[in-house]
Chains A and B, each alone.
Chain A
Amino acid sequence: MKKDSLGIIHTQYFTFAEPPHPLQLKSGRSIGPVTIAYETYGKLNADKSNAILVCHALSGDAHAAGISPDDKTPGWWDDLIGPGRALDTRQYFVICSNVIGGCKGSTGPSSINLETGKPYALDFPMITIADMVEAERHLVDHLGIDKLLCVMGGSMGGMQTLQWASAYPDRVLAAIPIATALKHSPQQIAFNEVIRQSIMADPAWRKGYYYEHGQPEKGLAVARMIGHITFMSDQSMEEKFSRKLKNDNLSFQFTDDFEVEGYLRYRGYNFVKRFDANSYLYITKALDYFDLSGEHFIPNVKKTTVRFLVISFKSDWLYPSYQSQDIVRALKRKHAYTTYFDLISTYGHDAFLIEIEDETRLVKNFLANIHQR
């Protein structure tokens, strides 16, 4: 059966934290006004009980499903969201917003600072995952939703999911954190530091104030190349590229002889066109600051009633399965009734965007039984 499409989806905007009531941030600083770009799919029911919040990963945006009106691209989780899909929009009202600090319509370092009339650049305050969730909470309030049926997301989206369940356990019925962690490990921080250094080492970065001159293209491209290496697995790279050459012969020069080199260059330079370098710096820092381990997880609650579906992928070495198992352990300590799957996949961290069939089966069945005791 061919599934219906959601068709053209227009991004919407919500502005809050107008002066004199700015959004208080975890860093101690505040910011306002804040604009959040978001999309919705499906219809909110009369008692507002069918809302699912989908949270995006590091370079994602509010366009999770349907077709964008300008360049006709499908949303980043379009295979999962739509009529008849895992998040069935005939049944659920699905929301996805761009994180604060991002560059896809929400307030971030590339947004205009009303006080100066120029982009914030590094005057933008440091953002945490908790701040992202606060902004989402304002949006959910604005939409008149008291309790979300489910919050879900992969990678950084999974961290927001955990943060939601931890900060607002009474406002979430179920949570689906995928390929994520309770805290960033030193290895994850290390990769992010190399990513940041490669941007900041580019002279075109100009200590963050580059907006009049254009992006630090080389640094940002290298940063994204590092990211792409960590998203794949040894096996998926072997299957995709092996040692295949772009041309028939070795060049004996420093050009991209191998297909894998060409792929990384292509990905890197494409990224420069669509993503702000400073946003990449801010968001990777938010990832590194994330730590819901120990007492930080669902604090002051002995037993949580939030229903969890935790998913990891065996070949994911960026967010290895043991980190999801740490989440499960934390949930056991909170007496949470939890479903956990460590799915077989060769795609590494990218699996959460690729393994749609397994995810659909699990998410669909999990949501169908969500009201069952």
Chain B
Amino acid sequence: MEKNEAMKPDHQIIIDIVHEGAHVLDLGCGNGELLSLLRQHKNALVQGIELDEEQMHTCVENGLTVLQGDIESGLVDYPDQSFDYVILNQIMQEIKKADYVIQESLRLGHKVIVGFPNFAHLSARLTLFLSGKTPINEALPYYWFETPNIRFLTIRDFIDYCAKKSITIEQQYYLGKNGRISFLPNLLAQNAIFVLTK
């Protein structure tokens, strides 16, 4: 599809990944922005799970189906391979049982799309090294005392994890400040998006 200037770069990548007419589950779908785009551009059949009531109301206003619940309990009871894609975008750093959620997502989706901020980005490394402070940048915009993030992970951490758990990384996308990059991603990428299969 054509590049849309207003669209968030990670959303643009995910829309390009998802095939036409796909069944999609978005865990922590927020106000449903990504799901609306997937429905609009890829005619996807979409289901969201979200905890925040006000964000859920926005989903319903936009005609999206959304379940109130946390991610861990939201996954159970779906039959195996219920969806073509399960999306975990910008949520890995907030969930408690990360390994469980990824494994369950692989059970109920043919493919799992994971997007997260890279804690090993150059600016984060420099902040920690030079100032001795917890890094704050575009991908990690919170002070320690107000952040929803309960863990920090890097691109290399995630690749190691997939290797250890025998999870296949089908595709990977790295986003720098000005768009996609491929050179030294663990140093230069602010965000990473992986497409996983079992």
Contact = CB atoms under 8 A, between A and B. Distances in A.
A373 B65 CA distance: 10
A286 to B, nearest CB: 28
Interface stretch (B56-64, B138-146, B176-184, B186-194): B56-64
Contacts of A335: 79, 82
A15 B141 CA distance: 67
A307 B45 contact: no
B131 to A, nearest CB: 42
Contacts of A167: none
A190 interface: no
A328 B69 CA distance: 11
Nearest to A324: B68
A369 B82 contact: no
Name B's interface SS. mixed
**A307, A337, A339, A341: which has the most chain B beta carbons within 10 Å?**
A339
Contact of B68 (A329, A340, A366, A369): A340
Most chain A beta-carbon contacts within 10 A, residue among B45, B61, B62: B61
Contact of A339 (B39, B43, B66): B66
Given A337-B47, A362-B57, A307 B39 contact: no
A124 to B, nearest CB: 39
A174 to B, nearest CB: 11
Interface string B71-101: 0000011110010000000000000000000
B46 to A, nearest CB: 8
Interface residues of A, number: 23
Contacts, number: 53
B39 A373 contact: yes
Nearest to B65: A337
Given A337-B47, A339-B60, A341-B53, A332 B77 contact: yes
Contacts of A325: 69
A335 B64 CA distance: 15
A211 B82 CA distance: 56
Contacts of A341: 53, 56, 68
B63 A369 contact: yes
B67 interface: yes
A344 interface: yes
Contacts of A329: 76-77
A325 B57 CA distance: 18
A339 B77 contact: no
B56 to A, nearest CB: 7
A329 B66 CA distance: 14
A338 B65 CA distance: 6
Interface string B30-57: 0000000001000101010000010011
A355 interface: no
A342 interface: yes
A372 B63 contact: yes
A332 B65 contact: no
Given A333-B79, A335-B82, A361-B57, A340 B69 contact: yes
Nearest to A335: B82
A301 interface: no
A1 interface: no
Interface in B20-36: none
A302 to B, nearest CB: 9
Contacts of A361: 57
Nearest to A308: B65
Given A328-B67, A341-B68, A366 B78 contact: no
A312 B123 CA distance: 46
Given A335-B79, A361-B57, 17 more contacts: A328-B67, A332-B77, A333-B78, A337-B45, A337-B47, A337-B65, A338-B47, A339-B60, A339-B65, A339-B67, A340-B67, A344-B53, A362-B60, A365-B61, A368-B63, A372-B63, A373-B43
15 contacts: A325-B69, A328-B67, A329-B77, A332-B79, A333-B79, A337-B47, A339-B64, A339-B66, A341-B56, A362-B57, A362-B60, A369-B60, A369-B62, A369-B63, A373-B43
Interface of A: 307, 325, 328-329, 332-333, 335, 337-344, 361-362, 365-366, 368-369, 372-373
> Which 4 residue pairs across A and B have the least CB separation, nearest first?
A369-B63, A329-B77, A372-B63, A337-B65
